[in-house]
Amino acid sequence: MKVIIVGGVAGGATAAARIRRLDEQAEITVYERSGHVSYANCGLPYYVGGVIEDPEELTLQTPESFYSRFRIDMKVLHEVVSIDPGQKTVRVRDLKNGEEFDDGYDKLLLSPGARPVTAGIPGSDLDRVFTLRTVEDTFRIDEYIKDNRPKSAVIAGGGFIGLELAENLRELGMEVSIAQRPAQLMNPFDMDMASFLHAEVRRHGIDLVLGNNLAEVRENGGQMEVVLEDGTVLKTDMAVLAIGVAPDTALAESAGLELGIKGSIVVNDRMETSVKDIYAVGDAVQVKNFVTDEYALVSLAGPANKQGRIAADNICGRSSVYTGAQGSSVIKVFDLTAAATGLSEAAARRVGLDVDKVILSPMSHAGYYPGGSLMMLKVVFEKETYRLIGAQAVGRAGVDKRIDVIATALRAGMKATELKDLDLAYAPPYSSAKDPVNMAGFMIENISEGLLKQWYLEDVKRLPRDGSVTLLDARTPEEFAFAHIDGFRNIPVDELRDRLEEIPEGKPVYVLCESGVRSYIACRILTGHGYDAYNFAGGFRLYDTVVNERCLLETAEACGRNWRI
């Protein structure tokens, strides 16, 4: 069997190695148009920042090591320019000398990846404008920085690559700005959770210019200028376009393969395309979203590697299927870690799901053990059914662990209420006896049993201040004096039973505290005395961060008394 693989990075390299492990006799050739194979895209920003010092660490394998171990012919700097499905041949161009030749296959696997979105942006071809997708891109940026010592950079786009690169350039001492059309960084997160990332990024001196699309990049008297649609001009020494990626499917389109959303390659759950004996994997294919069962694009290394393995199994006559992607991801943002799985609340509502959420801010490990830190955890679930939809977390420690647990529960089809039943490892340096994931489950169970009724951040402005409801802050007088929401009265939770006469009967009571714990206790006290009480999801800690972030997008004056950085 002769197998040709187009693309030798995540999915392609994984498939090649798997095919060899399954079939020692197969003839396997991989054509990769860049000069490197099996490299770690996710590590590229950290080489620019000097965190990864050895360029050889960026590549997990070389053509030579692949051949030595697997007898796979890895041909770098070779581009497949066309496919003839009828003749089962590919046309290959040797990029070193420009010569072209044909090669035949029994099975063909396409793993072309995605390309940076730069089309239509005037000035994107200037010498000091970069993208970051390949090892060559990384070396180009690194060489420019070492040779020219730029003092400033503008990064267009605040996704994974843009945010990681911004951090690394800032750590090099550069003045860094992130500009993008969306009003928040990191699309997998809801705005409330992204606000913590905004605060962290600004705390480290990065300027955020959000809600403003890139119009052009230009040279002006030796100075580079990034021009935004509203006319804002950002002067800089270099610019990186990290606006996003699009499936690189021109080759598939010219071969007559069926294309799907955003020009991606249509595949079935065996990673087979619409043309017999041609498979496709990775960033170029559309896959099923595990939560919604709708088609989606998921440009992440984990799914690409899994798909490569599945395609290899089927090429070799086995039977493997891809059950869908849920978009589990994690990112380091200076001192914070942010992770997510499944759908955000906003994404769930966009596809028509009727969802609810719990937001809590537990410690990363037992509070009495030194070194613990707070995290913010948000779990989204479907009303009525309590089906897990997704989760997000931000904090300084323990974040990835909690999201991985919830990702596993989601994959296993567990209900959100069943998070309380998970038997998770506990020791004071690592967790609490009631792990944050368990705590989320307890809260959701309380909702299902009518013990917890919530009100939310989006309700703050809608709550009447005319006396028809009672607005209660259950924190200490010191916390209340430092900052509070207008219209709320302060009765600390430990004084509540003795001051119930101050709370009018027959009116709903909306309660908050710093994290949601004391206010929940206050709600139970009030409920026990006949009041209709609602607890604020996320607590004042969430409100304060989000409101201050929104004010940063507007004006300081708009924040009034609660403005502070």
pLDDT in tens, 129-144: 999 988 889 999 999 9
Q: What is the C-alpha to C-alpha distance for residues 393 and 377, in angstroms, rounded to an integer?
A: 4
What digits encode the pLDDT tens for the residues 200-233? 999 999 999 999 989 999 998 888 999 999 999 9
Contact 136, 245 (CB under 8 A): no
Give φ, ψ of 259 to 5 degrees: -110, 150
> Does 355 have pLDDT greater than 80?
yes
pLDDT at 10: 85
Q: What is the mean pLDDT of the chain?
A: 93
Q: Which of the pair, 556 or 156, is modelled with greater confidence?
A: 156
Asked if 409 contacts 419 with a C-beta cutoff of 8 angstroms, the reply is yes
Left if phi > 0, otherwise alpha if psi is -120 to 50, otherwise beta: which for 303? alpha
- Residue 62: predicted pLDDT: 85
Strand partners, 325: 289
Nearest to 361 by CA among 372, 369, 347: 372
What span, in angstroms and rounded, lies between the C-alpha atoms of 434 and 423? 10
pLDDT at 503 over 50: yes
Query: 555 pLDDT band (50/70/90 cuts)?
Result: very low
By C-alpha distance, which of 250, 253, 284, 251 is closest to 267? 284
DSSP type of residue 485: -
What's the pLDDT band for 565 if we cut at 50, 70, 90?
A: very low
> Is the confidence at residue 561, as pLDDT, over 60?
no
Residues paired with 245 in a beta bridge: 116
Task: Tell me which residue of 299, 258, 295 sits closest to 116, measured CA to CA.
Answer: 299
391 touches 408 (CB < 8 A):
no
When pLDDT is cut at 50, 70 and 90, the band that residue 76 belongs to is: very high
Indicate the pairing of strand 2-6 with strand 107-110. parallel
Cα–Cα distance for residue pair 240/111, rounded to 1 Å? 25
DSSP string of 105-160, one letter each residue: -SEEEE---EEE--TT-TTTTSTTEE--SSHHHHHHHHHHHHHH--SEEEEE--SH
Share of the chain above pLDDT 90, in %: 85
pLDDT at residue 244, as a whole number: 85
Whether pLDDT at 553 is above 60: no
545 is written with which tokens? 């961060």
Alpha-carbon span 61 to 478, nearest angstrom? 59
SS3 335: coil
CB of 293 within 8 A of CB of 2?
A: no
- 313 φ/ψ angles, rounded to the nearest 5 degrees: -55, -45
Q: What is the pLDDT of residue 55?
A: 80
Start-to-end CA distance of the chain, whole Å, equals 64
Q: Sorting pLDDT into bands at 50, 70 and 90, what band is 54?
A: confident
Determine the distance from the C-alpha atom of residue 550 to the mean position of all C-alpha atoms in its chain, rounded to a whole number.
21
pLDDT tens digits for range 440-461 = 999 999 999 999 999 999 999 9
Maximum separation of any 2 CA atoms in the chain, in Å: 89
Please give the pLDDT value at position 549. 64
Which token pair is 528? 């026990």
- Cβ of 95: how many Cβ atoms within 10 Å? 14
Mean pLDDT, residues 391-395 taken together: 97
Q: Of residues 152 and 37, which shows the higher confidence score?
A: 152
Helices (H), 286-381: 301-315, 345-350
Strand order in the sheet with 265-266: 265-266, 285-288, 295-296
Catalytically active residues are 42
Write down the pLDDT at residue 228: 94
- At 116, the amino acid letter reads P
How buried is residue 151: exposed, middle or buried, by Cβ count under 10 Å (0-12/13-18/19+)? exposed
